[in-house]
Amino acid sequence: MPPARFLDPRTPPHIVTLVLMAALGALNMNVFLPSLPGMARYFNADYALVQLTVSAYLAGTAFLQIFIGPLSDRFGRRPVMLVSIWLFLGATLICIFAPTIEILLVGRVLQAVVVAGLVLSRAIVRDIVGPSQAASMIGYVTMGMTLVPMVGPALGGFLDQMFGWQANFILTFLFGVMVLIVCWRDQGETNQAMSANFVEQFRAYPELLKARRFWGYTLTATFASGAFFSFLGGGPYVANVILGMTPAELGYHFFFIAFGYMIGNFLTARFSVNVGLNAMMVIGNLISALGMALSIGLFWSGLFHPMAFFGPIFFVGFGNGMALPNANAGIVSVRPRLAGSASGLGGALMIGGGALLSVLAGSLLSEESGPYPLLYVMFSSSIAGVAAALYVLYVVRQDRSAGIVMDDE
């Protein structure tokens, strides 16, 4: 396969294009979060209903990933990505002009098609490099991608206060147009072994589901990201209602988790090849759990301050930045010929679990409960991520004893 040349569709996509593909979904997820309490007031709706713009969106991305991976294995990464962006732009227009919260929820679910950028960026990386290099390259892609959620919520909070919540979706639409143009000009096809038919890819799912390592990597990614998705579901409520923060202040404080995630991504890109992706997963989830334990301790001591919440959240981002790229590289390396299907199925299970945790965290919160339900859910999810990563190490030792060496080692 020829080396990537930027804006040359005859070569694999440049890493800048991969970053933009993944960043579009990240911006769409994060930019409007500071507006959630204000959207509840705008539509005169309960916060739990408005919070479905997060959890229903996650559920939609989980469902769509089941099909996006196999579609890209059958028809190629490029056409699936381009069609997905066109559909995303149409869904974003629905959100901008939504007259009711119900119409907005429909638009948000349809926007979930943008998850193609995340699924296909991972599959493309695995198309062109091996598993250890894949973890490193995914780390660089996600490190660049996190620049968007670092500034997105802060910008979203500012736009909300200046122009209203619709401004956030207008920003997302314009960014989507830019990504569409870049993908059209740069994203060369990397799937050199397309499957004979679409049904064949679904027949491959039982093979993946029988692989213990696939489950280990998927559960590690699910619980690691579950802490983050719980934060997305309940964090705005804790910040606005319990800590009294404005949308702009909430947006600025998102910097902590995004900055932590970027540092974790950098360490993944720098050390995964030498340390090993399995060890990096264990370390990352331990860091996330310790961060949440610190936050719980600070609130228990009576320190009800934004930094008692957002300061330790830095470590959740840090840990996820180490755990998730390595877990995702493991998912697509268990059966390399099924990289697209594995990325889609693993992502569906991961984000589906995150959606459930997001709903759980949002539903348990109230002024009387304080921040504790959210903190407990995030801590428990991180501990479960440690257990899943240790399970992968256990399976590796068993396979080595049996003389089995896999691509993810």
Question: Given a cut of 60, is residue 408 above it in pLDDT?
Answer: no
> pLDDT-derived band of residue 406, with 50, 70 and 90 as boundaries?
low
- What is the pLDDT, as a whole number, of residue 202? 67
pTM value? 0.73
- What is the pLDDT, as a whole number, of residue 94? 96
Q: CA 137, CA 192: separation in Å to the nearest integer?
A: 20
> pLDDT-derived band of residue 403, with 50, 70 and 90 as boundaries?
low
> pLDDT-derived band of residue 4, with 50, 70 and 90 as boundaries?
low
Closest to 280 in 3D by CA, of 225, 226, 318: 318
Closest to 118 in 3D by CA, of 94, 89, 91, 85: 85
Domains recognised in the chain with CATH numbers: 15-187+197-398 (1.20.1250.20)
Average pLDDT of the chain to the nearest whole number: 85
Determine the straight-line distance between the first and last CA of the chain, rounded to whole angstroms.
24
Residue 300: Cβ within 10 Å count: 11
Q: CA 347, CA 79: separation in Å to the nearest integer?
A: 20
- What is the pLDDT, as a whole number, of residue 175? 95
